[in-house]
Chains A and B, each alone.
Chain A
């Protein structure tokens, strides 16, 4: 069992990341410390990558076949997306967010050792699986953040001190999140074609992912052409997020649920 080393490596990563996140937090007051935080985060990430590489070599196959292994990949790639997004957009809190999410996946693995060998069904054993889930995770996180910003916007305009900068931040987050959402849909289509010969079957989860996409599409176009109708824009953003929540949590409760290939509870 090569997972034997996991507690060691994940603890190293966990400690380095916790320290890194602390310094990142302090760096909001003392900017110099941000470099130091970055070093810790990168070191933690390297420890994780070393573990993945070792696991891969020892298993002699890409570690992509069990539930535990998929979580390991999420934990490895989330920081990468976080770093790239940081390099481009300089959202510090976002880096923290993606590291925290990656840490959460490590923790879930740490607490459920039995999932290291929890098997995946054949259709899920595809190189598309991880990118597909990963970009969705990321996209939902960014779009959720845009909604938090929108709530702030609403609260501010209720108080009468609405600042257009708030909405601009929301705009940018929607653009980033929407780009990832598009990638998620398209990767899903390419994968489905590879696995079943269909791009798109209007499966309930696909329907709601499409609706989410359309919701944000309306927002993007509305904002672009009516940049001073802020109240309406905020309303559209809130509605789009409701659709997203239905897609993420609610599909299983709708009358259409039992016709979905996306529910893997067996």
Chain B
């Protein structure tokens, strides 16, 4: 051992005597938590507390400056010494864990229990108890980071990456919510739109407009399912891993051999069969031949998944079962848009899930569409997110990624030194 920790000596100590250990730490931690719950019951309002620019920047700078001052000139006071030692950290990590665990058990939605509502156990992230404990947690983290930076050594690089990275990501993430702007906007094919709606449902006029040229949904082929006539549920593989319909393929269900003779992606029934048609609401259809291998009887029919404007058709193949075509699943959806600016610029782009577009400080996401109309939707809902704290959060995250790789590579120091 290179380091001497207090517990290597068995020293008889009274409560609150120098230096504070675990008992005192948890005492203080629970004190903070109880104070927080009191605030929650007696003063908390329903609007979550956020700070916006410039107060959050001022707060962050002031907080870090205060931590530096505390470390530099007050590090021999009882409280600061305690905060830079492991018991204070472990108690705050444990209590944060405890409160997050409550969040992991009690659903974070309006509750029927008065107890849960009053103590704010269903809104932990804005609960005073949580905020106070987190404040202690961040203060510990900030102080030890400053300490190690002040006594910089190359062997501290991993430590600094992990602790400073976490400090940055957490503080910027929390303080940044006040400046985070999240707007959604409905765009319609062939029309320009520039009035967005913010999180409080207020209208916001954008300095540019979206012109939706085309909203496109790619679908997978529909699937073939064996359905139990009595229960109406899928009777094969627990409803998982159904076969995609493919023209010419043969599929096997129990004692039935099903061949797909014909398949149309969009079609309509005309007389006793389906034909390819391309119009609003035209559903997919397939002609199938079903052979019952126990008695060699053969059935022939058209089935269709239907759509918002057309009924579905299935085929009853025995007393117990029917063949059904499922509604096609979405492969991808995207919006082909032009962004029109006030000074006459026109920027074309295609938005897709997982592929946002950056424009004038906003990230523009493909959010949703009219799901009743499915692939005939001419509405595409976009989301605009402005997050000025993003670079700070990214710095924090990438420091932690580097820290994690360092940790993997170096392993545990004490293990190696002994």
Contacts and interface: CB of A to CB of B under 8 A. Distances in A.
Interface stretch (B28-36, B94-102, B264-272, B312-320): B94-102
A32 interface: no
B125 to A, nearest CB: 6
Interface in B1-51: 1, 3, 5, 7-8
A43 to B, nearest CB: 27
Contact of B104 (A119, A194, A227, A256): A256
A125 B93 contact: no
B329 interface: yes
B244 A179 contact: no
Interface stretch (A15-23, A33-41, A203-211): A203-211
A186 B97 contact: no
Interface in B206-239: 220
B332 A125 contact: yes
B108 A259 contact: yes
Interface residues of A, number: 57
B353 A218 contact: no
Contact of B89 (A178, A215, A221, A228): A221
A208 B103 CA distance: 9
A217 interface: yes
Interface in B356-413: 356, 363, 365, 383, 385, 387, 393, 397, 400-401, 403-405, 407-409, 411-412
Interface string A190-205: 1000111101101010
B411 A186 contact: no
Q: Which secondary structure dominates chain A's binding surface?
A: helix
Given A122-B331, A125-B332, A254-B104, A225 B5 contact: yes
Nearest to B244: A117
Contacts of A119: 220, 244, 329, 331
B329 A197 contact: no
A229 interface: yes
A123 B100 CA distance: 26
Given A112-B241, A221-B89, A226 B331 contact: no
B90 interface: yes
Contacts of B408: 88, 175-176, 179-180
Given A122-B354, A182-B404, A229 B104 contact: no
A229 to B, nearest CB: 7
Nearest to B243: A114
A221 B90 contact: yes
Contacts of A114: 241-243
A207 B108 CA distance: 11
Most A-side CB within 10 Å, residue of B173, B393, B404: B404
Interface residues of B, number: 58
B90 A122 contact: no
A160 interface: no
Contact of B105 (A89, A180, A200, A255): A255
B287 interface: no
A29 B137 CA distance: 50
Given A204-B104, A217-B93, A224-B414, A123 B407 contact: no
A231 interface: no
Given A225-B5, A255-B105, A199 B173 contact: yes
Contacts of A89: 411
A69 interface: no
A196 B184 CA distance: 12
B117 to A, nearest CB: 16
B58 interface: no
Contacts of A225: 3, 5, 86
Contacts of A223: 414
Interface in A149-202: 168, 171-172, 174-176, 178-180, 182-183, 186, 189-190, 194-197, 199-200, 202
B182 interface: yes
A255 B106 contact: yes
A225 B4 CA distance: 9
B97 A218 contact: yes
Given A88-B409, A114-B241, A119-B220, A211 B97 contact: yes
Interface string B241-261: 111100000000000000000
A23 B408 CA distance: 28
Contacts of A228: 7-8
A207 B412 contact: no
Contacts of A186: 397, 400-401, 404
A219 to B, nearest CB: 10
A179 B401 CA distance: 8
Given A179-B404, A199-B393, A207-B100, A218 B7 contact: no
Interface in A110-147: 112, 114-115, 117-119, 121-123, 125-126
Contacts of A56: none
Given A175-B407, A194-B356, A211-B97, A118 B241 contact: yes
A222 interface: yes
A214 interface: yes
Contacts of B7: 226, 228-229
8 contacts: A114-B241, A117-B244, A175-B412, A186-B401, A215-B97, A221-B93, A256-B107, A259-B108
